[in-house]
Amino acid sequence: MVEASIITIGDELLIGQVVDTNSAWIAQELNKAGIFVKRRVSVGDSWEEIWKALDEESRHANIILITGGLGPTSDDITKPLLCKYFNAQMVVNKAALENVKYLFETIFKRPVTDVNLKQAEVPDVCTVIQNKRGSAPGMWFEKNGNDGEIIFISMPGVPHEMKGMMEEVVPMLKNKFVLPVIIHKTLLTAGIGESALAEKIKDFESALPSTIRLAYLPASGMVRLRLSTSGYEKEEIVSSIQSHFENLKSLVNEYLVTDEDEPLEKKIGKLLMAKNKTMATAESCTGGYIAHLITSHAGASKYFKGSVIGYDNSVKENILMVASQTLQTAGAVSKETVEEMLSGVLKNIRADYAIAVSGIMGPDGGTLEKPIGTVWIAAGNSKSVVTQKLNLRFDRMRNIQLTTVYALNLLRKFIIEMEK
Amino acid sequence: MVEASIITIGDELLIGQVVDTNSAWIAQELNKAGIFVKRRVSVGDSWEEIWKALDEESRHANIILITGGLGPTSDDITKPLLCKYFNAQMVVNKAALENVKYLFETIFKRPVTDVNLKQAEVPDVCTVIQNKRGSAPGMWFEKNGNDGEIIFISMPGVPHEMKGMMEEVVPMLKNKFVLPVIIHKTLLTAGIGESALAEKIKDFESALPSTIRLAYLPASGMVRLRLSTSGYEKEEIVSSIQSHFENLKSLVNEYLVTDEDEPLEKKIGKLLMAKNKTMATAESCTGGYIAHLITSHAGASKYFKGSVIGYDNSVKENILMVASQTLQTAGAVSKETVEEMLSGVLKNIRADYAIAVSGIMGPDGGTLEKPIGTVWIAAGNSKSVVTQKLNLRFDRMRNIQLTTVYALNLLRKFIIEMEK
């Protein structure tokens, strides 16, 4: 079996200054190509630790993908280390040199320094993977291990440079190995806990063939269920996983949000586009996070018209047309206020549907009557509105995320009801 | 030296369905306590792989922190594995049992199932770390290794449960080991590339004592510089790193955004609060991301009043008061439009300062004249406005992030100029 290990390099990963998003992205791309990721390892900018990781991971996997440590500065040691690791000599790669010059002269419009030019040097035993988005070239090494050949691929740690390079790397890997098909089918549920879900599908689970794995992924008030399988007979495994997936869907139907591995806001986008409808948001405590999630997907302009973020009460009054009387008597965090925010944003933005949210996210601002985590959400159109009160706990970011999930799910159900 | 390794468990990490944010958070907390993180490893829900990782990491570190695999479902195998690994027997922990019952009866208001009750079982050789935020207890094991005692700590993978548990774990670790002080000092620069920065501070870098490490962290159009050191003589190392940090600051002064390890939007918040001023945003292409970043910080309500997200041109006209003539002749992505958006949002939201952005983020919507990545940004107040055109490349999310960084930095410089 062809298995990969991903090594990410950088002290910033070990002191927690940077979250490693590269590994997850690389893993997705490898899975699509039929390559399992067996391990992910992060080590610091330390010669000894990187060296040890290369040795160890080549005992675990036949493909080692490495990111980081290729920059022009002194703390970037991956390239000289790989040169030594493969007993090689540094040579200038002409294409990489042209690329560095082009980037600085044409794109960055900055003078190219000796340090930059040095980035065009590579160990003479590697195949160079050109970097269209930055100055550090990627490197592909081959080595004989105990169980056959091992491929080492070194890429920059800057995510968009690495992503551009993977467009070259994946076809090279497909060319090198005979790869199976890996299939994941994921559905998203809301309104049921992980263990209650497990209880509900326990017969299904125990009857699953050993070739199909079931996983539970709880996240922000929802649970994802994933079936995974792999094999070389594509048609056969596709039909097998598909039939089990349909069974699973029917078992959890009342809690089903979507049967795609897609977020809630994308599902809402599909519902709206199918009916040629639009939406808007009126956000207080979520501060634009709902709008951000929606607009992070390409094509959102087809159904998303805009938002009013009324963080301050004056904005709720002036643009969202919440009556000052309402704010005074019911308060900014109340059923009445979110209802008025909703009708205000619908009038001003002229969308078919809208969400309105107002709450206390913490760590300050709670009262005895309305403690931190008190949130009111509303979803509706010009004719009707549904509201819900949330009592959240924990920290600010989690409260923002949970409010967003509940509000989007309230809107999703409302749209389905209205567009029946 | 006391060093930790973090093992995160879950197939979702290896297929890239979930980004591992736990490791970074844990690493930050450990650093604050004086514990270095040497490695981070992710493995799947596989008995063999978890077992091997426990063996291997205990050769690398004296503290092994494990997250994941403690849920109530069949794919969660960490607990039985640890029971076997430490040759222990499962016993019911009374406090954990009370906690499970309390959570289901009082908080979740759902019937407690046998599966849930089983979560109160733990190996009899561990010290139990109670979970105030979920049903799976944490576990602390001690084992003699070749170089002294090794601590294994198992926690849930759900981030907020793990975070709650770390409040217990950190004091336990501090109690167990004599720990040094670890200090990181970070500054943020904008407007200069990594290699030009390196050139600028090369004498400083080569004169640094071996006890202080310098790191370069490029991110979204900016570069962070970090000095790190550690030792047992707190006062001495604090004064040493501080004096080097002051030197570094003066060398990069013209590009300095902030000398704290804080994001740009937090720096802006401080500038505004110091002068008792407020701000607003008018966002098109960033879709609420700027407002979201600002409001993700506690206390943002002191200086952030709100936003209008005019994704659709009708919102730019109706709420942001952009003249329809302007949209027709100059276009939605133009200097004229962002200037009018800015003056519109200032009038409607009545803030002291504002940002306005409009651009084409991709992957669709580009034209020959205005290709994907064309963005106009404006920052200003009621008296004056500065604008900037960006020519970005690459993918949608990166364009949203870069636009946000440039816009926030434009506003930061504008505020400093105005409040002189």
Choose the final residue of a domain: B226, B242, B258: B258
**Nearest residue on chain A to B219, judged by CA atoms?**
A158
- Do B275 and B380 belong to one domain? yes
Q: How far apart are CA A41 and CA A61, in angstroms?
A: 12
> What letter represents residue A402's amino acid?
L
For chain A, say whether B243 makes contact (Cβ under 8 Å).
no
Q: Comparing A92 with B190, which gets the higher pLDDT?
A: A92
Confidence category of residue B112, pLDDT binned at 50, 70, 90: confident
Give the pLDDT of residue B369: 86
- B43: tokens are 């493995």
- For chain A, what is the domain count? 3
- % of chain A with per-residue pLDDT over 70: 100
Alpha carbon of A144: minimum distance to chain B alpha carbons (Å):
23
- Per-residue 3-state assignment (H helix, E strand, C coil) for A68-116: CCCCCCCCCCHHHHHHHHCCCCEEECHHHHHHHHHHHHHHHCCCCCHHH
CATH number at residue B275: 3.90.950.20
In chain B, which residue's Cα lies nearest the Cα of A225? B12
| B201 and B230 belong to one structural domain | yes
**Residue-averaged pLDDT of chain A:** 93
Is the CB of A45 inside 8 Å of chain B's CB atoms?
yes
Q: Which of A176, A199, A231 is the last residue of a domain?
A: A176
* Region B266-291 average pLDDT: 97
- The answer, for A210 touching chain B at a CB cutoff of 8 Å, is no
A15: nearest CB among B16, B28, B288:
B28
Q: For A237-291, write each residue's pLDDT tens digit.
A: 999 999 999 999 999 999 998 898 888 999 999 999 999 999 999 999 999 999 9
Tokens read off for A322:
């919440």
Task: Give CA–CA dist B235/B238, Å, rounded.
Answer: 5
Q: Write down which residue in A176, A204, A225 finishes a domain.
A: A176
Rounded percentage of chain A residues whose pLDDT exceeds 90? 78
| Inter-residue contact A151 to A92 (CB < 8 Å) | no
State the residue range of the domain holding B277.
Answer: 264-418
State how beta strands B222-231 and B213-219 pair.
antiparallel
Contact criterion met (CB below 8 Å) for B85 and B55? no
pLDDT of residue B60: 94
- What global pTM score does this model have? 0.84
Mutant choice from B308, B350, B398, B402 vs A, greatest count of A C-beta within 10 A = B308
Cβ separation of A195 and B116 shorter than 8 Å?
A: yes
Q: Do B288 and A309 touch (CB under 8 A)?
A: yes
Please judge whether B295 and A310 are an interchain contact, meaning their C-beta atoms are less than 8 angstroms apart.
no
Question: Quick one: B200 and B160 in the same domain?
Answer: no
Question: Taking 90 as the threshold, does the pLDDT of residue B40 lie above it?
Answer: yes
Rounded to the nearest angstrom, the minimum Cα separation between A86 and chain B is: 23
Alpha helical stretches, state H, B211-334 = 234-251, 264-275, 289-295, 313-318, 324-329
Residue of B nearest to A164 (CA): B394
Do residues B106 and B70 make contact, with C-beta atoms less than 8 angstroms apart? no
Residues B20, B47, single domain; the answer is yes
ipTM over 0.90: no
CB contact under 8 A, A160 and B215: no
| Among the listed residues A247, A244, A226, the one whose alpha carbon sits nearest the alpha carbon of residue A184 | A226
- Predicted confidence band at B420 (pLDDT cuts at 50, 70, 90)? confident
**What pLDDT score does B394 carry?**
63
pLDDT tens digits for range A184-233: 999 999 888 888 898 899 999 999 999 999 988 887 778 999 999 999 99
Residues 22-41 of A with CB under 8 A from B: 23-29, 31, 36-41
Whether B33 contacts B179, CB under 8 Å: yes
- Taking an 8 Å cut-off on Cβ atoms, the answer to whether B288 and A295 are in contact is yes
Tell whether B311 and B351 lie within a shared domain.
yes
Residue B201 has pLDDT above 80, yes or no: yes
Distance of CA B247 to the CA centre of its chain: 27
From B53, B216, B350, residue closest to A73, measured CB to CB: B216
Q: What are phi and psi of B406, to 5 degrees?
A: -65, -40
Q: What is the mean pLDDT of chain B?
A: 93
Please name the member of A75, A315, A363 whose beta carbon is closest to the beta carbon of B305. A315
The rounded percent of chain B whose pLDDT value lies above 90 is: 78
Same domain, A170 and A187: no
Q: Would the pLDDT of A113 be above 70?
A: yes
By CA distance, what is B20's nearest residue in A? A20
Query: pLDDT by residue (tens digit) across B5-32?
Result: 999 999 989 988 888 889 999 999 999 9
Cβ–Cβ of A349/B319 closer than 8 Å? yes
Torsion of CA B168, B169, B171, B174, to 10 degrees: 170
Residues B157 and B32 occupy one common structural domain: yes
Note whether A218 and A72 are same-domain residues: no
Q: Which residues of A touch B226 (CB under 8 A)?
A: 12, 17
A108 touches chain B (CB under 8 A): yes
* Alpha-carbon gap: B195 to the closest alpha carbon of chain A (Å): 6
Q: How confident is the model at residue B77 (pLDDT cuts 50, 70, 90)?
A: very high
In contact, A119 and A72? CB cutoff 8 Å: yes
- Residue B107, pLDDT above cutoff 70: yes
Query: Is B15 an interface residue toward A (CB < 8 Å)?
Result: yes
pLDDT band of B1, cuts 50, 70, 90: confident
* Shared-domain flag, residues A114 and A49: yes
Q: Are residues A46 and A63 in the same domain?
A: yes
**B209 at interface of A, judged by CB pairs closer than 8 A:** no
My answer on whether B189 and B86 are in the same domain is no
Q: Is A148 left (phi over 0), alpha (psi -120 to 50) or beta?
A: left
- Pairing assessment for the beta strands A36-43 and A3-9 based on DSSP bridges: parallel
Highest-confidence range of A237-251, B102-116, B386-400, by mean pLDDT? A237-251
Span A398-411, average pLDDT: 92
Q: What average pLDDT does this structure show over B224-242?
A: 94
Structure tokens belonging to residue A104: 């600085």
Give me the total of CB pairs closer than 8 Å, taking one residue from chain A and one from chain B. 340
Residue B204 burial (CB count, 10 A): 15
What is the per-residue pLDDT for B366? 83
What is the CATH classification number for the domain harbouring B134?
Answer: 3.40.980.10
Written as one string, the DSSP assignment of A274-333 is HHT--EEEEESTTTTHHHHHHHTSTTGGGTEEEEEEE-SHHHHHHTT---HHHHHHT-SS
**Whether pLDDT at A394 is above 70:** no
Q: At what angle do helices A47-60 and A78-85 cross, to 10 degrees?
A: 60
Q: What is the CATH number of the domain that holds A253?
A: 3.30.70.2860
Q: Is the pLDDT of residue A362 over 90?
A: no
A72 confidence band (pLDDT: 50, 70, 90): confident
The least confident of A363-367, B323-327, B383-387 is: A363-367
Q: Is the pLDDT of residue A367 over 70?
A: yes
What's the one-letter identity of residue A117?
L
What angle in degrees, to the nearest 10, is found between the helix axes of A396-418 and A264-275? 30
B170 and B185 both lie in a single domain: no
